[in-house]
Amino acid sequence: MINWLIGVFVNTVLLMAIDGYFDSIQFSGIGAAFIASMILSILNIVVRPVLILLTLPVTILTLGLFLFVINAITLLMTAVLMGNAFEIDGFGTALLASIVLSFFHLLVQKAIIEPLLQK
């Protein structure tokens, strides 16, 4: 449970940072980013495995790069569920944001969180 909350907090911070760098991604506030992070986490638990199974042949052919497309789809689904509180202008922006989010989440996880949890 604590690992999930840490992941949600990291996603919230990263989503706010992405909001600051991309003009085509907008949050209404920090609370909206937190709720979007929670919704994204739930979608990653429930919807993402189904999408991975349905697109398994394409994912294998692209050597896993299609997973970024699946991440972009879940990010767009989060924006649709959030309504006006979280807006993404298009699929290209969602794809780029999902790549940035995945990279920095991995970086924070490996460089900061895992060493702290091992102590």
* Residue 28: DSSP 8-state: S
User: What tens digit of pLDDT does each residue of 20-32 get?
Assistant: 999 999 999 999 9
CA 4 vs CA 14, 19, 53, 108, 109: distances in Å: 15, 22, 23, 14, 12
Number of domains into which the chain is organized: 1
User: What is the structure's pLDDT at 117?
Assistant: 81
User: What tens digit of pLDDT does each residue of 30-40 get?
Assistant: 999 999 999 99
Model pTM? 0.90
Q: Which of 11, 21, 7 lies closest to 78, judged by CA?
A: 11
User: What tens digit of pLDDT does each residue of 71-115 get?
Assistant: 999 999 999 999 999 999 999 999 999 999 999 999 999 998 888
Distance CA 72, CA 77 (A): 9
User: What is the structure's pLDDT at 47?
Assistant: 95
Please list the residues that pair with 87 across neighbouring strands: 26
Domain of 59 in residue numbering reads as 2-118
